[in-house]
Amino acid sequence: MLKNWLIHIVVNTIVLMTVDGYMDSIQLRSVWAALGAAVILSILNVVVKPVLILLTLPVTILSLGLFLFVINAITLSLTAWLMGDAFKIAGFGSAFLASLIISLLNLLIQTFIVHPLKNK
């Protein structure tokens, strides 16, 4: 279980650095800031995200699950707020776009790199 969590942290660190490189509205101070953001984001995804999903369940159902991207943007914004100057997001629109890109990149990396390596 710890191994899976560490893999998830490394993948999120790489994805956050990639998003930082392509989006001017997302700023990470260093690789260590990206690693810290990945750890905080994973903790928020375990603690805060289920509560947000439960509280917004009717909206999530009505939107056929698309509201989950808004919840992802909220947790990403909360991560940036907790990180202070080490991780900055220009606004909620940037957080929403970044959450879409992060979700897509995580899906691709997990599907084409992590899972095939685990199955070997």
Domain that holds residue 27: 2-115
Residue carrying the six token digits 């997302």: 26
> Does residue 120 register a pLDDT over 90?
no
Would residue 60 count as lying in a domain?
yes
Rounded CA separation 23/27 (Å): 8
Would residue 109 count as lying in a domain?
yes
Q: Mean per-residue pLDDT for 61-78? A: 96
Rounded CA separation 54/97 (Å): 23
Q: pLDDT tens, 11-25?
A: 999 999 999 999 999
Q: pLDDT tens, 27-39?
A: 999 999 999 999 9
What is the chain's percent helix, strand, coil content, to nearest 5?
A: 80, 5, 10
User: What's this model's pTM, rounded to 2 decimal places?
Assistant: 0.93
How many domains does the chain divide into?
1
Q: Token digits for 67?
A: 């509201």
Would residue 120 count as lying in a domain?
no
